[in-house]
Amino acid sequence: MLNVPVETWSGNADAVLSGAWGAVTRRAHQSGYSRTAVYMHAQRVVQAVASAQAGGISYDALWHENERLKAENEALWQAWSAALAGVVCSRGPQ
């Protein structure tokens, strides 16, 4: 779902928000997505617009924070594994 072009998201949102009879079904056939996916895309577009208007944290800022936290988490797991290996080695065979 992350590889959906912006034009598709926008078109799907337009079909849902227009309220025209059959618009969602037509859009689903045109875009190759299910009606459920068209509604989900529209919901995400509405949420993104509302978030942008509210002046909250940007998607890019959230993305970068997530990447930073994933790297930190990986470093912590590696440190934990190294520490655990050191404890096992220092005890020797039992």
Cα 76 to chain centroid, rounded: 24
For the chain, give the number of residues: 94
Return the domain boundaries, the chain.
Answer: 1-56, 57-94
Residue 1 has pLDDT above 70, yes or no: no
Listed residue (57, 55, 50, 47) closest to 9, CA to CA: 47
Name, in order, each residue with C-beta under 8 angstroms of 1's C-beta and a sequence gap of 6 or more: 37, 40
Residue whose tokens read 């936290």:
69
What is the pLDDT, as a whole number, of residue 93? 59
pLDDT tier at 90, thresholds 50, 70, 90: low
C-alpha closest to that of 16 among 33, 52, 49, 40: 40
